[in-house]
Amino acid sequence: MKRPRSNQEKPEAIYYYGTCLADLLYSEAGMAGIRLLQGEGVRVIFPRHQTCCGQPAFNSGFQDEAREVAEQQIKQFPKNIPIVVPSGSCGAMMTRHYQGLFEGLPLHEEAQAFSDRIFELSEFLVNVLKIKLADLGAPVKVTWHSSCHAKREFGLGDEAKQLLRQLKNVELVELEREDECCGFGGTFSVKHSEISGEMVLDKTRDVLQTGADFLLSTDCGCLMNINGALENQGSRVQVEHFASFLWNRTHAS
């Protein structure tokens, strides 16, 4: 799939798909995404019965279980308006795998339409809303981890970095091996915890090498993983979702 999609007119309203990890672990980041969208004059609808895209089970080989949960999601987003997701990985699950998951089933067409309406948050802010950000924060150094699923599965470009570059007091330091996997991989991190652990250790070495104050990314799974490893080492690098970082920089608290 070739992204980004910029042919979309700015809509009056959009759906927001919070994702389970943002819901449970990074709720402020999830909320920041909503505020950024609202700030651009878009009405944000958050269907209350959404839970999880199904990826954890799907990637673990439990397709039937994933399908039941996915089915529940599709039904919550009936209107023909964009669905914005603050995660490239969940976005990839919903755009790349839903069609296959519902192949030959009554929900197939609906699943296809659902997939077609998915946008990742940074691509929507940049390509559709053409957001302009004014930095209010003190000078900081940040570095960026591009999530594998966002980049390779979803096909996300460097929209989030473009947003960071709009912030005048934010210095973006490139991360060595930026697109190498951090080792998360869902259940991979416990099924093959030793390999996963070595991968995240290498990632933290690269992060520390940059001298950055913040490590930012678009995916909560990677954030949770890298943050856990950095914290374990007593590092002071702050690991944050780009949505809450952007919101905090551009709005006085």
Partner 1 sequence: MPPETMPHQTLSEKSFLEDTAKALKDPQLRRNFKRAMSGLVAKRRNVFPNASEFEGLREQASAVRRKTLSRLPELLELLEFNCERNGIRVHWAETTEEANRIVLDIANEAEVRLAVKGKSMVSEEMGLNAFLEEHGIEAIESDLGEYIIQVDKELPSHIIMPAIHKNLEEISKLFQEKVDSNSTSETAEEMTATARKILRKKFHDADMGLSGVNFAVAETGTLCLVENEGNGRFCTTLPKIHVALMGIEKVVESLQDLPPLLTTLTGSATGQPITTYFNMISGPRREGEKDGPHEVHLVLLDNGRSKMYEDELLRETLLCIRCGACMNHCPVYTRIGGHAYNTVYPGPIGKILTPQIKGIENAGYLANASSLCGACVEVCPVQIPITEILLRLRHNWTRQNKKRHWTDKNRLELLIWNGWKQVFSKPGLYRIQAGLLGRLGNLLPKQTPILSRWAHFRSLPRFSKKSLHRLVEEEGIDHE
User: Whole-number minimum distance, CB 166 to partner 1, in Å?
Assistant: 25
Site membership for partner 1, residue 62 (CB under 8 A): yes
| Nearest to partner 1 of 97, 249 (CB atom) | 97
Identify residues 170-189 at the interface with partner 1 (CB under 8 A): 179-181, 183-189
Kindly indicate which of the ranges 20-28, 121-129, 158-166, 244-252 contains the residues binding partner 1, using the contact rule CB under 8 A. 20-28
Tell whether residue 152 is a contact of partner 1 (CB under 8 A). Answer: yes
Supply the DSSP string of 53-78, one letter for each residue: -SHHHHHTT-HHHHHHHHHHHHTT--
Evaluated on CA atoms 126, 130, 136, 139, the torsion sign reads positive
Q: Copy the structure tokens of residue 65.
A: 């279980």
Using DSSP's 3-state secondary structure scheme, residue 242 falls into helix
**Which span sits near partner 1 by CB under 8 A: 42-50, 126-134, 207-215, 242-250?**
42-50
Using rule CB under 8 A, residue 26 touches partner 1: yes
The smaller minimum CB distance to partner 1, of residues 130 and 177, is found at 177
Taking CB under 8 A as the rule, does residue 6 contact partner 1? no
Q: Which two tokens stand for residue 4?
A: 């980004």
In DSSP terms, 119 is beta-bridged to 84
Q: Cβ distance 141 to 171 under 8 Å?
A: yes
β-bridge mates for residue 172, sequence order: 142
**Least distance in angstroms from the C-beta of 134 to partner 1:** 23
Task: Choose one: 122-130, 145-153, 163-171, 208-216; the region binding partner 1 (CB under 8 A).
Answer: 145-153
**Is 108 an interacting residue with respect to partner 1 (CB under 8 A)?**
no
| CB atoms near residue 243 (< 10 Å) | 29
